[in-house]
Amino acid sequence: MSESEDSRSGVASDLPGVEIEVHARTDVGCVREHNEDSFLVADLSTGSRGLVPQVTRHVAGENGTLLLVCDGMGGAAAGEVASALAVETLFAEMMSAQSTLLGEEAVAKAVRRAVRTANRRIVQSARANPGQRGMGTTLSGAVLCGDSLLLAQVGDSRGYLFRSGHLVQVTQDQSVAAALIQAGRLSPEEARSFAHSNIILQALGTSENVEAALSRVRLCHGDRLLLCSDGLHGQLSDATIAQVLAEKSSLEEACSDLVTRVRAAGAPDNVTVVLARFTGKSLAVPANDDPPKHVELPPDEESERPTRISRRMSARHASTSEDQSTGSEASTLASGPEESKAPSSTDSEPRDAQDEPKDDDNPGGSAPAQVRIRSKSGIPKAAWIIAVFLLVALIAILFWKPSGG
């Protein structure tokens, strides 16, 4: 019986531990000139990485497996630099922390520290290289820890878990659209055509401080994890993604089909897909078609300096009034897009939280949404200013009449 047949039948194989099969694909899309996405698949126990046989099919060692998708932004080659720096740093930091990866709490701390280190390196690179100013990247990652996945999220790339025909998003988008959905001001259907859907609340490299949102999901035999950039979920509905995963048991075929469908839809952005399947005797067989459930972990109390995003996460875990505070934050974003939808001319240099405008709609003191957000259009603001200036000059030339003419 093959691994895919074994997974679908609900019978675990005879190998000990968790068996992992993984495949990935990235594509520049139909519009962009550069692919600013990066991904990583790595066995942290052996140090092997990439789509090589010892990684695409392996039994997880004591240090687990690391999967990442990063969606860079910043225009020209800067987005590629940011996403590549994030991937390389996360891999190096998790490998160097091998001796401490004992238990979920230790893994969570290692992931948070690795994300902060990646953020600092991107910020430092942007400061040292003027051509990289304003670059940043999202991050959606997963680390296998025993029979669970620990997921890390910054920005609006996504993680999904597919089990028994159910596709469940197990990360939370850090975007304006997601904040409005949580506040009840926007439906998921409306969000797909929302004018500011490309604006995110947090990214690596755009601020001195960043805090990854962590969540955990307990794996069952045959579960499939999908990590993807918004080039996928921005073009395909969850229902379409679920249909592809249900129809394609081969991970390679599923990745190929997803990218093909995105390109058929126009593929205005880069698209990256990492797909992994988990099997083995150590994993429970899913019962009664129960959909997967994930748990959000509390924010790190050891954060060097709390960001607006981390304070908001703390508030959500500290009280049951999160819905009201989220509504207030989302209202501010909705009523004042001119203030938040684009970086200022001085925004190419990362700035501290106290330099950001205060949220006057949040008098109760609960954590406001991080105002400093990034548009992933890839076009610097200076280019827009120059374009507008040239347009005005052209209009003046066309319609100018000499006095007395």
Interatomic CA distance for residues 89 and 79, integer angstroms: 15
Q: Two tokens at 261? A: 């469908």
As to burial, measured by CB atoms within 10 angstroms (0-12 exposed, 13-18 middle, 19+ buried), residue 62 is exposed
Instruction: Supply the DSSP symbol for 56.
Output: H
pLDDT tier, 51 (very low <50, low <70, confident <90, very high otherwise): very high
Residue 398, domain member (yes or no): no
Of the listed ranges 46-55, 177-186, 226-235, 344-353, the least confidently predicted one is 344-353
CATH of the domain at 192: 3.60.40.10
For residue 358, give the nearest of 349, 347, 367 by alpha carbon: 367
The reply to whether 297 falls in a domain is: yes
Q: Where do the DSSP E strands lie in 61-181? A: 65-73, 136-137, 139-145, 148-154, 158-163, 166-169
Q: State the distance between the two ends of the chain, measured CA to CA, in whole angstroms.
A: 89
* Mean pLDDT value of segment 17-21: 94
Confidence band of 17 (pLDDT split at 50, 70, 90): confident
User: Please, which residues have CB within 8 angstroms of residue 162's CB and are 6 or more apart in sequence?
Assistant: 168, 223, 224, 225, 226, 242, 245
**E-assigned strand segments in 344-392:** 374-375
78: containing domain:
3-315
Q: What H or E segment, with its residue span, contains residue 121?
A: helix 104-128
**Measured distance CA(225)–CA(277) in Å, rounded:** 6
Burial 249-261 (b: 16+ CB within 10 A, else e): bebeebbbbbbeb
Provide the pLDDT for residue 185. 87
Q: Mutual orientation of helices 104-128 and 78-96 as an angle, nearest 10°?
A: 140
In DSSP terms, 217 is beta-bridged to 149, 294
> Looking at the domain assignment, is residue 359 inside a domain?
no
What does the DSSP 8-state code read for residue 58?
E
Contacts of 135 (CB under 8 A, 6+ apart): 72, 73, 74, 78, 79, 81, 82, 122, 125, 126, 205
Element (H, E) at 308: helix 308-318
Mean pLDDT confidence for 241-253: 98
Tokens for 314? 């703390």
- pLDDT band of residue 327 (cuts 50, 70, 90) is very low
Q: How far apart are CA 39 and CA 157, in angstroms?
A: 12
User: Measuring CA to CA, which residue among 398, 391, 353 is closest to residue 372?
Assistant: 353
Q: Is residue 126 part of a domain?
A: yes
In a domain, 283, yes or no: yes
What is the identity of the amino acid at 289?
D
Selected residue with higher pLDDT from 379 and 38: 38
- Tens digits of residue pLDDT in 266-295: 999 999 999 999 999 999 999 877 888 899
Residue 331 falls inside a structural domain = no
The pLDDT value given to residue 251: 98
**373 belongs to a structural domain:** no
37 strand-pairing partners: 71
Q: How confident is the model at residue 6 (pLDDT cuts 50, 70, 90)?
A: very low
State both tokens at 29: 């899309």
- Tell me how far apart the alpha carbons of residues 225 and 245 are, in angstroms, rounded to a whole number: 10
Tokens at residue 336, please?
A: 């004042």
Confidence category of residue 14, pLDDT binned at 50, 70, 90: low
Inside any domain, residue 347: no
Q: Which of 279, 284, 283 is nearest to 7 (CA)?
A: 279
CB 47 within 8 A of CB 64: no
65-73 vs 139-145, strand pairing mode? antiparallel
* pLDDT tens per residue, range 169-215: 999 999 898 888 888 888 887 887 787 877 899 999 999 999 999 99
Alpha carbon distance 139, 155 (integer Å): 6
CB 299 within 8 A of CB 62: no
Number of domains in the chain: 1
Strand partners, 208: none
What is the rounded distance in angstroms from the CA atom of residue 355 to the CA atom of residue 149?
36
The C-alpha angle with vertex 68 and arms to 62 and 71, in degrees rounded to 5, equals 170
CA 92 to chain centre: 19
Of residues 139, 234, 214, 207, the one with CA closest to residue 170: 214
Percentage of the chain surpassing pLDDT 70?
70
